[in-house]
Amino acid sequence: KEKKAIFSVHGMTCSSCVGIIESFVSNVEGVISIQVALLQETAEVKFNPLILSEDDIAEQISMVGFEAKHLV
């Protein structure tokens, strides 16, 4: 079953940062969708919890250079 999680994402300084994160993370195995909000500094991710965890997703966001923490 699909799960949804919200992350804080810090370090985004222009709108292209959103695209960088969304295109990278949406291609990660187990991620169904990601929507990043620049002004709110958050990301909402739908994913398959059998394939990856919230912490795995935060780690993947960090891979492209942004500090991410699982909030809810």
Site residues for ligand 9UX per CB under 6 A? 13-14, 16-17, 20
Burial of 16 (0-12, 13-18, 19+ CB in 10 A): exposed
Contact 28, 58 (CB under 8 A): no
Q: Choose between 18 and 30: whose C-beta lies nearer to ligand 9UX.
A: 18
Closest CA to 69 of 4, 5, 3: 5
Q: How many residues make up the chain in this entry?
A: 72
Report, in Å, the least distance between residue 4 CB and ligand 9UX. 25
Q: Choose between 10 and 13: whose C-beta lies nearer to ligand 9UX.
A: 13
Q: Choose between 11 and 30: whose C-beta lies nearer to ligand 9UX.
A: 11
Report, in Å, the least distance between residue 16 CB and ligand 9UX. 3
